[in-house]
Amino acid sequence: MTTPSHERRCAEIVAQTDLLRSCIEGADLTVPVPSCPGWNVGQLLRHLGGAQRWAEEVVRTRASQPLPDGHFRDLPARSDEDPAVLGPWLADGAARLADTLHAAGPDAALWTPVPGGTTAFYARRFAHETAVHQADAVLALGARYTLDQEIALDALDEWMELGSLPMHFEVHPWMRELLGPGRTLHFHATDTEPRAAAEWLVDLTGDTITWRRAHEKAAVAVCGPLTALLLLVYRRRAARGEGIEVLGDAELLDFWLERVGFG
């Protein structure tokens, strides 16, 4: 199993933003985004572009502590966004972030919101942040969403890693309620080549949340196309539909998704 290189992740930030730009040409950006309640497409894009610029500043300055982020989280209502203006603005921010990450390399030390503290975190996080927000916009506008297999696999791995960090128990103690005997979840992508090893086992039976790429029996099994699984764990799609099949303890799946959801 291989993972995308730092350079590939940097390039993907630009590629996903370009795809997003193409889908909003001539679109009504006041359309609500069901997967981001309270936002319309214009607000979603301002959030993404603002987050990319924020990350670029963190990397460029080698920030040792978090920078203010309210400008892309607490967004005022926007009803007059022009795709002809917003598109180039998005492209510029994505290019700046990718260039800064590429110049820094994957190992530069700086602040990150999770343990690790290198630029590799931001390249990976924003490749997937951009890909998932592209899905938010595309699906809101009624278009078809696709994602490269290598990026989708990496995005699911990252989601499993971030959702299993022990630090969550300190920030959100109620996440410990997930743990218990017999609580395991298996995710199986049905549309990938066998060598992709596109199966994940989430184990909630110990003192922490753990995960591994594995084909194992579990209390609940979730099977479906890779991209559908990715959108499911990001809570962009319901547990049923889009070719997804749930076998076993569906309530455990719903409980896990509720407690570890982010992004």
The CATH number linked to 41 is 1.20.120.450
The verdict on 219 and 130 lying in the same domain is no
For the entire predicted model, the pTM comes to 0.94
pLDDT at res. 34: 93
| Local confidence pLDDT in tens for the 263 residues of the chain | 579 999 999 999 999 999 999 999 999 999 999 999 989 999 999 999 999 999 999 999 999 999 988 888 887 776 678 999 999 999 999 999 999 999 999 999 999 999 888 999 999 999 999 999 999 999 999 988 999 999 999 999 999 999 999 998 988 899 999 999 999 999 999 999 888 899 999 999 999 999 999 999 999 999 999 999 999 999 998 767 779 999 999 999 999 999 987 65
Q: Which of 112, 145, 178 marks a domain boundary?
A: 145
Has residue 153 been placed in a domain? no
Q: Please indicate, yes or no, whether residues 81 and 184 belong to a single structural domain of this protein.
A: no
Where in the sequence is the domain holding 24, given as residue range(s)?
A: 6-145
pLDDT at 262: 60
> Has residue 155 been placed in a domain?
no
Dist. CA 138–CA 132, nearest whole Å: 10
With respect to residue 154, please indicate whether it lies within any of the assigned structural domains: no
Indicate whether 26 and 125 sit together in one domain: yes
- Report whether 119 contacts 101 (CB < 8 A): yes
pLDDT at 1: 59
Token pair 């799946």 is found at 253
Is the residue at 1 inside a domain? no
The reported pLDDT for the residue numbered 195 is 84
Per-residue confidence (pLDDT) for residue 184, from 0 to 100: 98
CA 75 centroid distance within chain = 20
Number of domains in the chain: 2
pLDDT at 11: 98
Is there a domain that residue 223 lies in? yes
